[in-house]
Amino acid sequence: MIALRQFSRILKYMLLLEFRVRDAVTLLLSLSIMFAVIAGFGITSASLEPRVRERLFPALLWLCFMVNAAVALGRSFEYESEHKVLDGLLLAGVPPAVLFFAKATVNILVLCAGQVAGVTVLGMLLGVSLVPHFGLFSAVSLLVIVGYSALATIVAALTAGARLRNVLLPLILLPLLFPLFFCAIELTTLILEQGLLPLSSQWLSLLAGLTVVYVALGATLFEFAVGD
């Protein structure tokens, strides 16, 4: 119960901080819309068949999401690092795992906003609608975003003190995200083509397993990341 109260208070503080600063969410929304417009108009100008556009949609969507989110989350620890916020919370006796889950939750909300913007703009430009498959696509997106947020939070904490942190984060994070990237593409393609998401799918099992592993690793290693 004590940890839960600490989590709720820190989460509220971090949400208020993100709302006031708005660096990560503003950057992610801007990049998501910009890349979606560029990719959408580029594919549209090629006069491809609707079927081809639908096949390209999952790869374009998740590629834009992965890259944009890595760039935007590079600023997620900027304020805390400059003002020694995490050091103060740790000295106050807050467990590192609680800090990790609070920060990861904020990053999840930021990533959800970017994903909604990217899906909406790119879908409109390519003529691909995910509305009939909203529930299935939301489930896949949530698993990807939770796993992404967990991994990005721990890597961002490791690079927070570096001078080139905005460059280091994408360079370290993106190669680690390849398994999530492939799972997201395969499952999104399956949803668009067949309108279903079988629980027996190997890609779904792999995605769920990766998400659990990333969250567990993040909660375990965050103490050492912020300690450095």
pLDDT in tens, 75-114: 766 666 666 677 677 777 778 888 889 889 999 999 999 9
Query: Over the stretch 107-163, which tens digit does the pLDDT of each residue have?
Result: 999 999 999 999 999 999 888 888 888 999 999 999 999 999 999 888 888 877 666
Q: How far apart are CA 115 and CA 150, in angstroms?
A: 16
Question: CB neighbours (10 Å) of residue 43?
Answer: 19
> What's the Rg (C-alpha) of the chain?
18
HEC letters along 23-91: HHHHHHHHHHHHHHHHHHHHHHHCCCCHHHHHHHHHHHHHHHHHHHHHHHHHHCCHHHHHCCHHHHHHH
More confident residue, 1 or 52: 52
pLDDT digits (tens, 9 = 90+) for 3-24: 788 788 888 878 887 777 677 7
Question: What is the model's pLDDT at position 122?
Answer: 92
Of 44, 49, 37, which is closest to residue 126 (Cα–Cα)?
44
Q: Over the stretch 28-73, which tens digit does the pLDDT of each residue have?
A: 888 899 999 998 888 877 777 878 888 899 999 999 999 888 888 7
pLDDT at res. 79: 64
Q: What is the pLDDT of residue 144?
A: 96
The Cα 27–Cα 69 span in angstroms is 9
Rounded Cα–Cα distance for residues 8 and 15 (Å):
10
* Alpha-carbon span 65 to 70, nearest angstrom: 8
Which of 72, 64, 62 has the alpha carbon at shortest distance from 25? 72
Tokens (6 digits) for 167: 């460059």
Contact 31, 118 (CB under 8 A): no
